[in-house]
Amino acid sequence: MCVLFSPQVEEAESGNDVEKMRKRLEDAHHEYLTRSRQYDQYHNDYSQCSQEIQFKKQASDAFNEAVVMFEEQLRLHEKFEREAHRHEIHSLKENYQLLKFQMSNLKQTSQELQNQLRVQTVLSRNLDREMNALKPELHQLCKTRDLLQMKFLSMIQIYVQQHPSSVHADSQYWLLPDCTRPDAERFLTGKADGTFLIRRSAGSAPFALSIACCKVDKRVGHILIHRSERGFGFTEPYLLFPTLNDLVVYYAGHSLEELNPLMTTTLAHPLHGPQPHEGNNSSSTPANPASAVATTVEGYLSC
């Protein structure tokens, strides 16, 4: 018996594979971050411990020098007592006892400092041992995450190829580089959920997504689009999209809910593309040709 699978079934299986890979990558990244934070904590504690050891060593040296000085003073007092006149002996003895008391305090403090120094040294060695034990695990977690990122990127590229969309893949329908955040909110107010544009960001990220969504404040949400040496994305470990076009095509079929639980929408409707009431005619020209941008923003868009 020959079992036939419909395109819808194959597409659903492909979508499930992408979601499973995304979850694996997210878990691997979370584990890597957890171990990295643990290593950073060990490193900070080790650095602080090393500074305290250095300080206590300097203090211990100073106490030792003070003890030597007081011992010399006591020997001088013993000499003076033997040579002193009778009326001077009483005051010399009082001063001698005071010096002995002070030296005793110095020795006690020095001993306490030595004990603390031994404890700090043991702690330092333990922290160093913990850091060295974590390094191979961190290295392996990093390799695993990088491998999963490569696999996820491959799946993204296959998904983009299997879901051609002249509207989503063409930046003239959604890229408004000179648009400001207030402008974006004005353009998107009253639009259907999923209507979006991409603009340059005024912050640290190169771009930002603005999208109509009834569940967020002002019914328009904004998400920064970051760029790493691997590509574009909204957050690690998904800074993998080679171009903004690829990012848009991918999230046209995947909800933004994974980034923000309130954004239960996809990049459904480019601002200058066909709107829900206009039908889904992929050959439509942008609604505002004067605002459309050719796909030639160097370094960001596909040719």
Q: Identify the CATH number of the domain in which residue 50 sits.
A: 1.10.287.1490
- The whole-angstrom separation of Cα 260 and Cα 277 is 27
Pick the last residue of a domain from 162, 184, 219.
162
pLDDT at residue number 15: 58
301 in any annotated domain: no
Regarding whether 200 and 182 lie in a shared domain, the answer is yes
DSSP tag of 6: -
As a whole number, the mean pLDDT across the chain is: 82
Regarding whether 229 and 150 lie in a shared domain, the answer is no
pLDDT at residue number 14: 55
pLDDT at 289 over 70: no
Pick the last residue of a domain from 129, 162, 195.
162
- The whole-angstrom separation of Cα 219 and Cα 163 is 28
Regarding whether 114 and 251 lie in a shared domain, the answer is no
Regarding whether 132 and 21 lie in a shared domain, the answer is yes
248 in any annotated domain: yes
Regarding whether 193 and 141 lie in a shared domain, the answer is no
Percent of the chain predicted with pLDDT > 70: 85
Regarding whether 188 and 122 lie in a shared domain, the answer is no
What is the CATH number for 280? Answer: 3.30.505.10
pLDDT for 90-122, tens place per residue? 787 788 788 888 888 888 888 888 898 899 999
Confidence class for position 70, pLDDT limits 50, 70, 90: confident
Residues in the chain: 303
SS3 210: strand
Report, as an integer, the average pLDDT of 24-30: 88
Give every strand in the sheet of 269-270, ordered side by side: 232-233, 220-227, 207-212, 195-200, 269-270
Regarding whether 210 and 97 lie in a shared domain, the answer is no
Two tokens, residue 296: 């030639």
Regarding whether 158 and 11 lie in a shared domain, the answer is yes
131 in any annotated domain: yes
How many structural domains is the chain composed of? 2
pTM above the 0.75 mark?
no
- The whole-angstrom separation of Cα 210 and Cα 233 is 14
Regarding whether 134 and 27 lie in a shared domain, the answer is yes
Work out the angle at residue 111's Cα, subtended by the Cα atoms of residues 108 and 116, and round it to the nearest 5 degrees: 130
300 in any annotated domain: no
Regarding whether 17 and 138 lie in a shared domain, the answer is yes
178: containing domain: 171-291
The stretches of 174-303 forming alpha helices (DSSP H) are 181-188, 244-252
Phi, psi of 299 (to 5 degrees): 85, -5
Regarding whether 232 and 138 lie in a shared domain, the answer is no
Q: Select from 138, 97, 112, 140 the least CA-distant residue to 56.
A: 112
SS3 70: helix
Q: Which amino acid is at 30?
A: H
Regarding whether 82 and 26 lie in a shared domain, the answer is yes
pLDDT at 174 over 70: yes
